[in-house]
Amino acid sequence: MDNPLPPDAESIAAMARACIDGLPPPFAGPARAVALRVADFADDALLAEMVIADPFDLTGLYDGIPLTEKSVLDQPHGPDTIWLFRRPILDEWASRGDVGLADLVAHVTVHELAHHFGWSDADIARIDRWWE
């Protein structure tokens, strides 16, 4: 029997880790060094800072210093982190109806990794063929 409950945070994290494991070898290792966190929604302070009124409008966030901007002089404030927001991802998945949940989680994960690696849109397109 199918599970009638929506995927929990650990299920979303497992989908994101599978995406990271499937990255081309030059990126998979460094991507595994980025912390991965899943929360139901971004907290109110973050939404206010980003001037986002509807918490369903934010599916993911990269919190860190992109590799292209890192310096040995940077004071670490914590690990670079990718945040995935479960409820907005599930809401987008349900409303779209034309994409698998694992594919959507992978798309959000790759988009956030793009901030970490400093990828261009063309770089993203080589890794995440979202439109196919």
Q: How many domains is the chain partitioned into structurally?
A: 1
Judge whether 98 lies within some domain.
Answer: yes
Residue 69, in any domain of the structure: no
Positions of the chain with pLDDT under 50 = 1
Residue 72 within any structural domain of the chain: no
pLDDT on residue 86: 98
Q: Is residue 71 part of a domain?
A: no
CATH of the domain at 107: 3.30.2010.20
pLDDT for the residue numbered 126: 74
| Residue 111 within any structural domain of the chain | yes
Q: Which two tokens stand for residue 93?
A: 């998945």
Q: 11: which DSSP letter?
A: H
In a domain? residue 49: yes
Instruction: Compute the distance between CA of residue 119 and CA of residue 66 in angstroms, rounded to an integer.
Output: 10
Query: What is the residue range of 58's domain?
Result: 9-63+78-127
pTM of the model: 0.87
Q: Is residue 82 part of a domain?
A: yes
C-alpha to C-alpha distance for 65 and 77, rounded to whole angstroms:
10
Angle CA(19)–CA(21)–CA(27) in degrees, nearest 5? 95
Q: Tell me, yes or no, whether 132 lies in a domain.
A: no
Q: Are 66 and 117 in contact (CB under 8 A)?
A: yes
Number of H helices, E strands in the chain: 6, 3
